[in-house]
Amino acid sequence: MEIKVITGDIARVKADAIIVNFFTGQRKLDTDIAALDKALDGAISQLVRQGEIKGKLNEVTVVHSLGKLPADRVVVIGLGKKTELSFNKICGAVAETCRALRPKGITSIATIAHGAGINNLSPEVTAQAVAEGTLLGLYTFHKHITRKEDKPGEIKQLVIVSSNRVKPRLEKGSQKGRILAEATNLARDMVNEPANYMTPTRLAETATKLARSHGLKINILEHEQMAKMEMGGMLGVARGSRQPPKFIILHYKGNRDKEPGVALIGKGITFDSGGISIKPSQKMEEMKGDMAGGAAVLAAISAIARLKPKINVVAIIPATENLPDGNALKPGDVLTAMGGKTIEVISTDAEGRLVLADALGYARKLGTKHIVDAATLTGACIIALGKVCTGAFTNRQALVDKVIAAGNEAGELIWQMPMFDEYKEQNKSDVADIKNIGGRDAGAVTAAQFLAEFAEDTPWVHLDIAGTSMSDKEKAHQVKGATGVPTRTLVNLALTLAKR
């Protein structure tokens, strides 16, 4: 999609639709919408009086211009109460509006920077929200659909109309919004791909293409190299698959430091059957999304490379399948992770933490200052938080505070979970240093406590995205299928850490 900022009067812009806004409880029309109302002989104000336009959040009202304006339609979107306006509400309302307009054959949209100056929302932030909302809300994944009639139309152009005074700020904001949305949609693409297409090898190929496009240094460890580094967790999980495992490392160099300022680690299980501890067949097809953390991390470092913050970032994605086989990992087996800790395998379906143990060990070997991992780790986190919030677990309060703030800025909600030492008792093993599952009670917490053993004293945050990586319905900027969470959170965090 083409996104551009122009100066001028929105009432004089030629487009298939122009978008303005209205707030709940608003008594009179603002300048932009008032000019359009006058040109339309009072049609908008009449709809307000009749109660058809209420300003309710995500309300969409289409008014046909009938030749009275250069644009074919005027679309009034509701932004809710002005006192409650936020970046996320603008982003969501624009997304809902664009989806509503797409079936009408609309290919070009002109809009204002909704909410600029309200609740301390700068022109940059509002332009970012418009661009993000448009691109995120219009996302589709129809790659494998061959019938043209089943594919939606395409909105090809978004024009943001401004004054000369703020045009550079709107351009900056809309560019950032484009980068963040495109990265999120890239993550969505990877997660939505069927597992026979998005194999560990294909994930590594995608990472290689991103490295070439964005000037990233890439290193992909093969089975033999992992064996030399004694990555027993990774290779133990990979034993059941005929697909070769890939340990993917990408480096972004933003300053002169030798060590990474932050390591972003993403679980890359491209299909999870549960292994010998096999999952129920119902909805097992959704387990193609068990690499959502890896996809988000790959997408995030691509966006970081485009935004160029002054921080070194490493992305680490341990990628493999988890399948049953005569050579597969068995309950009761003992593995040795990178660094020498031994793990008793109680359930082969608790495989994510096994591959992450080696990834955490590798990040620590690099001397990274902070670690954040993202993983579809536990069904227990869905039971605890549903599909609204990502669960956050940490050994450093200052770091998790920054992660949660970065999520709030992106509209990706995160809730901190407890990490009391008493939970460690559940992970104690009689035959090894630790076991890979602590029982049914507090499963999300004991999984995080397992990872904490391998993060050791490095400031670390674990994001359990089991509930937030997929959506079963369209709402605001989210669409059905992969969400791309927490791509934008990770990018925002890198930008924040770069300012320290």
Task: Show which residues are catalytic.
Answer: 279, 353
Give the closest residue to 11 by CA, choosing from 61, 65, 55, 90.
65
Give the closest residue to 55 by CA, choosing from 100, 96, 22, 91.
22
The SS3 call for residue 375 is strand
| CB-CB contact of 338 with 363 (8 Å) | no
Q: Please name the residues in contact with 45: beta carbons below 8 A apart, sequence gap of 6 or more.
A: 29, 37
| CB-CB contact of 313 with 494 (8 Å) | yes
Write out the DSSP string of 171-222: HHHHHHHHHHHHHHHHHHHHHHS-TTTS-HHHHHHHHHHHHHHHT-EEEEE-
| CB-CB contact of 35 with 71 (8 Å) | no
Give the closest residue to 376 by CA, choosing from 288, 291, 274.
291
The SS3 call for residue 373 is strand
Give the closest residue to 450 by CA, choosing from 397, 375, 400.
375
| CB-CB contact of 442 with 380 (8 Å) | yes
Amino acid at 252: Y
Amino acid at 130: V
CA torsion 50-53-57-63 (nearest 10°) is 160
- Going across the sheet that includes 342-344, the strands are 334-336, 342-344, 434-435
Residue 235 has a CB neighbour count (10 Å cut-off) of 21
